Structure 1
Amino acid sequence: MKMYKNIKQIFIVIFVLICFACKNEKQEKQTLTLAKPSKKQIEFADWEVGAFFHFGLNVFTGQEHGDGKEPPSKFNPTELDAEQWVLTAKSMGAKYGCLTVRHEGGFCLWPSKTTEYTIANSPYKDGKGDIAREFVEACRKHGLKVGFYHTSSHDAYHALSWYKGEIGWGKSRDSLVEIAFRDEKLKSKYLEVQMEQMRELLTNYGQIDFMWSDHWGAPGSEHIWNPITDLVAEFQPNMVFMGPETWVPGNESGLVVYPMWNAVNTVDGTNYTRPAPNSNDSAVENDYGLLENEVRTGHPLGEFWRVRECTTHWAFHKGGWFWHPEVTLPRTLNEHIDLYYRTVGLGANTIINLPPDDRGLVPDTIVVAAKRFGDEIKKRFANPIAELSEIKKSDIVELTWKESQEINTVVLMENIANGQRVAKYTLEAFLDGKWEELKPVNYFPTAKKPYNKIPGYETIGHKKIDRVESIKTDRIRFKCLKSIEGTPEIRKIQVFKCEPYN
């Protein structure tokens, strides 16, 4: 009888252990659930290159951030042509354009009913103009996705009109705003203006495809950004909204951290806040007064998906975001190619600034540089030697072609619709009856820590462009060495022979 009791106890212990093991296994599986992008985030990643048009009162005052003190009467472009902007963007290869319909100074490029600080009180078209509408119509006419820039947390005109002294940027401005918002009536009125401006933009111009919401989620401005984010979801659910759906890389120089994960955890565990740091993440030296200078590598098991998008004014031309005479000059073609490889080539989008001048036209030098850049990217990547364009779910994926040819570039894409998995891989070529590793020769001279100067074979995400030592072959293969979860899904492999540029 005693033996029977012991056996019974043993079975109970085993049963408990099995249940505990099953519970742990279930928890582990839950932990390894990958974040997945929405349909619009996948489409946005596929756009890859965008064009930023920084234009407004600042072009006529020489300011960059705008202090809300300059009068609308100074705004008077006499040759404005939104179609010229859009065609310049198209020649560059941009799939979307984004206009600063209202920058940080508060001046509106549409006749907003919320304020007197608009083009309705400027000489432009005798106060009857609407540049937001001109831009939207030009984009739709020429097949460019429509984007607006608007920053609800930074509006100097409505937050600081009470202040009579000089208004700087950064901490000095932030402290003045903090003082202003101690007045609850002013704080409430400010939010009312921002909400109504967003409502106008989201309801008066049809479908908007993208919005750059500068300084989204800035600490201390939750009372503004949370309701704005809800408003966007209500009126433009198909619009990609910078903040909850995309994020910046921590600089404005066209550098993206690598390895890089699109999945992130957030500061408070909701989609209303910015990506939370990992133990190895850091802040970088302030770049052009940038408020978002935290570098986030993302987290492979993060809960939220945010496409990385690199703003790139310094990388494409000299000078600030807005046009400045004799300063806004394009950089070299090699610098532009390098920009493409270190952003799009590392899995991010890049949005390149094309600032119109005081005529209302993109300067000729920028027009020429944009087309030259677009032509060069087409030349490099329009005609692959070989291509695999069907999704393959496997740790090893091969690509073969008829005749042995010299190659030096391999493009990989993951099927991110089912998450980002690859954490380490290798590329190999079949030579003399055996597989040999293709040696990566990626090199970005302008990158400095924490950005990777010599990225190897780690993450892929939307896209990875690998430059490799030149080799003659008719067969290569991708080989996954480490997956975060399950079997990788490769969406595309392409091989090219491209001219070196640095």
Structure 2
Amino acid sequence: MKYFSYSLLFLLFLNCRNEKSSSSSIEESTLAKPSAKQIAFADWEVGAFIHFGLNVFSGQEHGDGKVSPSEFDPSELDAEQWVLAAKALGAKYACLTVRHEGGFCLWPSKTTDYTIANSPYKGGKGDIAQEFVDACRKHDMKIGFYHTSSHDANAGLSWYDGYIGWADNRDSLMNIAFQRPGLKEKYKQVQMGQMRELLTNYGPIDFMWSDHWGAPGSEEIWNPITDLVAELQPNMVFMGPETWVPGNESGLVVYPMWNAVNTVDGTNYTRPSASSKDKNVENDYGLLETEVRTGHPEGKFWRVRECTTHWAFHEGGWFWHPEVTLPRSLSEHVDLYYRTVGLGANTIINLPPDNRGLIPDTIVSAAKKFGNEIKRRFSNPIAELKQIKTGETVELSWSKPQKINTVVLMENIANGQRAVKYSLEAFVNDSWVPLKPMNHFPIAKPPYNPNPGYETIGHKKIDRIETVETNKIRFKSLESVEGVPEIRKMQVFYNAPY
């Protein structure tokens, strides 16, 4: 067993040998640790993203802020149907795009006229944010809002008569916009006002997805927004300072992966900085956050990884588009779970309502099949360790030998993430034999790992192993940070290939 000093931690990534150092007690640990709300968020594991708004009627994906609110008129909108579909998926939280990048508000905001109040929906008296919140509370679903303060085409670009595209095109226009006298401050006040409305008028909100932290001028917006969030809803998990994306929208997370990160300016206001092996990936369907960040065991801040997954669950973009929004196969959906939740991240799966205001039956059916399959696979372990165990070796045994091919491990991340490398063994014919990892993700390309082995654990690691018949297995810590890992849970299963 090896313990590593902080001065040599970077050598882990170069496969160099470190000198032994004495283990540190939990009390002396300087590892980054998650807050209680970050631990709870990680335990939710699966979320549902509800992308709905003016884009559904205009056919746009990102919204140019020019489409008239008069086009927004869902005839059968049912927020309860959305939440029930999310529950069938197995989601513990649901996140609605109350205001996407075009700037159209699904509540009657007093900060702008570009809202539901100027649409035909319910004669201008509707409030879909409230309908969504009510449905979530009725069905015990954690409530999430999507609102991106750094991208609001209507507030920032309403002066521009030309084409408003995406990525570099929009960023260039916003740079020009912020040079106009008074516009940047006015824009900022709109964003602050909308955030105050959302976090004041709807009671406790559990999660806020806030997109595009690297946009032009965003540092002057996100810092005060972050402070406002902490003031108004201190128990809410805020994407940015408390969670982060993996650099793609295809449901892939880097492995090995550390939740601890450093940031570009050394504060908790900004996005994670790169380590020596990190890189950006090619743009994934208009994604702006293409930075793949491994994290670092000595990182200062804890960020739960959350994988956005529209391409992984269905075809056709984030918003519903006729004849295009079709689900993928169940096997692809199960693979998504293993390569996100199974590598220590959350996954938030898109369930886009159509122009009626209902999630299409094909997506609802696929969501239900996914939820049922995950329950079938992981609800009834052959054996389970339920109490925290600390030590270089942790064993789990059961009465009669049975076939197993899946091992689930969870670290007690409340005291930090420690496991760097480990092994799994089974007791067969009176001796311990190594268990060969069989993890394989066909869609993973570098820098994502198609064949994860036994390295980091974090919140959860699901290892598919070569089938063996046994009644005892053991986890052995081979390398760790600041003492031995604390194992919160260990489970074994036998599941058919998917």
The TM-score bracket by the shorter chain reads over 0.9
Hey, what does 1:437 align to over in structure 2? 434
CA 1:219/1:74 → structure 2, altered by over 3 Å: closer, same or farther? closer
1:413 has 2:410 as partner = yes
Q: Which residue pairs with 1:46 in the alignment? A: 43
Residues 421-442 of structure 1 show CA distances to partners (whole Å, capped at 9, x for unaligned) of 0000000000111100110000
Letter in 1 for 2:428: L
Corresponding residue for 1:19? none
How far has the Cα of 1:484 moved from its partner?
A: 1.2
Match of 2:329 in 1: 332
Q: What residue is the counterpart of 1:16 in the other structure?
A: none
* 2:363 maps to amino acid: I
Aligned counterparts, 1:12-411, within 5 A: 33-218=30-215, 220-411=217-408
Larger radius of gyration: 1
Provide the rounded CA distance (Å) in 2 between the counterparts of 1:417 and 1:424: 19
What is the aligned-residue RMSD (CA, Å)?
A: 1.7
Partner residue in 1 for 2:468: 471
Question: Does the aligned pair in 1 maintain the 2:49–2:351 contact within 8 Å?
Answer: yes
Q: Which AA in structure 2 matches 1:370?
A: A
Q: Helix, strand or coil for the counterpart of 2:53?
A: coil
Q: Output the amino acid matched with 1:182.
A: Q
Which residue does the alignment assign to 2:11?
none
Give 4+ residue runs of structure 1 displaced > 6 Å after superposition: 24-27, 29-32
> What letter is aligned with 2:247?
G
TM-score (norm 2): 0.94
Looking at structure 1, the residues matched to 264 and 158 of structure 2 have their Cα atoms a distance apart, in angstroms, of: 32
Cα offset, 1:217, TM superposition:
4.8
Deviation at 1:161, TM superposition (A): 0.3
Of the three residues 416, 423, 428, the one matched with 1:426 is: 423
Task: Tell me how far apart the structure 2 counterparts of residues 302 and 474 of structure 1 sit (CA, whole Å).
Answer: 39
1:206 and 1:55 map into 2 onto residues whose CA distance is 21
Cα deviation code 1:142-179 (max 9, x no counterpart) = 01000000000100001000000111111111111100
Give the secondary structure class of the aligned counterpart of 2:182: helix
Give the deviation of 1:487 after TM superposition.
1.7
Q: TM-score, normalised by structure 1?
A: 0.94
Amino acid at match of 2:56: V
Contact 1:78 1:359 in 2 (8 A): yes
Shift of 1:218: 3.7
Check conservation: 2:23, 2:482, Cα contact below 8 A. no
Structure-2 separation of matches of 1:405 and 1:26: 37
Return 5+ residue gaps in structure 2 as ranges: 1-20
In structure 2, what residue type is equivalent to 1:362?
I
How far apart in 2 are the matches of 1:150 and 1:283? 25
Residue 446 of structure 2: which of 449, 468, 492 is its match? Answer: 449
1:8 corresponds to: none
**Cα distance, 1:184 vs. partner?**
3.6
Q: Judge conservation of contact 1:53–1:354 (CA < 8 Å) in 2.
A: yes
Aligned mates of 2:296, 2:272 — CA distance in 1: 9
> What amino acid does structure 2 have at the position aligned with 1:63?
Q
Closer/same/farther in 2, CA of residues 184 and 271 from structure 1, 3 Å limit? farther
CA–CA separation in structure 2 for the residues paired with 1:189 and 1:308 = 33
- What's the CA shift string for 1:68-107, capped at 9, x where partnerless? 0000000000100000000000011000000000000000
Q: Using the TM superposition, give the Cα deviation of residue 115 of structure 1 relative to its aligned residue in structure 2, in angstroms.
A: 0.5
Counterpart AA for 2:458: G
